[in-house]
Amino acid sequence: MQYILDTADISFIKKAIDLYPIEGVTTNPTIIAKEKGDFKSIIKGIREVIGEDLMLHVQCLSLDAETIVKEALYIKQFAGKNVSVKIPVIPEGIKAIKILKSKNIRTTATAIFTAQQALMAANAGADYVAPYINRIDNILGDGAKVVSDIVQLFNINNISTKVLAASFKNVEQVHKVCLAGAHSVTVNKDLFEKLIYHPYTDLSIKTFISDWEGQYGKGKTTLDA
């Protein structure tokens, strides 16, 4: 399982990279716009923080294949070697994925709501497919089931494309797609730290410290034993 950050907040990325086993960062036009800065500078800033080895997913905005490809090549120039260009699964997007595959440019098919969209994108050459879990759930669908179906189709057809589940509102959704076989999840900063939070964990730690300090003194640790 790959944990990926869905944010362009440099301060949070620095903190998360330091603490957690992060495999990369995803962005989209909405995330970039929230930072209210220069697009290239934001992307370069993220790359500087995460280094060359971690993934960076950056989205195109054009709606025709020719211009999508131009955007992808432009993004590739300054986003670093380990970049995957995000492309929505519209017909022209599928065409662009095919073209970029021939140019050895990695792509992430995004805005996926069905398993067939994911299969089409994978057959076109996408390296990742990104189903929108919470948005699927919001239209009376089952995001985790869509992930399960995608994984099954990929296994049946011996496809190496990875499922990058996205669009989460709670930990339960993340947990369900992990059980469904997603290869990676991208989680926003508001939700990410909740993945390991539990009140009884905090209570247990407080109890351990209280019992230890009651015997050995306040502020003491095993280093003082």
Alpha carbon distance 47, 121 (integer Å): 26
- Residue 130 binned pLDDT confidence (cut-offs 50, 70, 90): very high
pLDDT at residue number 211? 96
Q: Give mean pLDDT, residues 182-204.
A: 97
Q: Give mean pLDDT, residues 148-152.
A: 98
Positive or negative torsion for Cα 52, 57, 58, 63: positive
The rounded mean pLDDT for the chain is: 97
Asked if the model's pLDDT at residue 193 lies above 80, the reply is: yes
pLDDT at residue number 177? 98
Asked if the model's pLDDT at residue 35 lies above 90, the reply is: yes
CB 190 within 8 A of CB 12: no
Q: Give mean pLDDT, residues 180-189.
A: 98
Question: Alpha helix locations (H) across 109-186?
Answer: 115-124, 133-138, 143-156, 171-179
Query: Which residues does 93 contact at the CB level (< 8 Å), separation at least 6?
Result: 65, 68, 87, 109
pLDDT at residue number 1? 94
Which domains are assigned to the chain?
2-196 (3.20.20.70)
The model's pLDDT over 79-90, given as tens digits with 9 standing for 90+, comes to 998 999 999 999
Q: Give mean pLDDT, residues 36-57.
A: 97
Question: How many helices and strands, by DSSP H and E, does the chain display?
Answer: 11, 8
Asked if the model's pLDDT at residue 114 lies above 90, the reply is: yes
pLDDT at residue number 225? 77
Q: Which residues are catalytic?
A: 86
Q: Containing H/E element for 159?
A: none
Alpha carbon distance 83, 74 (integer Å): 12
- Residue 31 binned pLDDT confidence (cut-offs 50, 70, 90): very high
pLDDT above 90 coverage of the chain, percent = 99
Query: Which residues does 158 contact at the CB level (< 8 Å), separation at least 6?
Result: none
| Entry pTM | 0.94
CB 43 within 8 A of CB 79: yes
Positive or negative torsion for Cα 139, 144, 149, 150: positive
Alpha carbon distance 141, 207 (integer Å): 43
The model's pLDDT over 18-30, given as tens digits with 9 standing for 90+, comes to 999 999 999 999 9
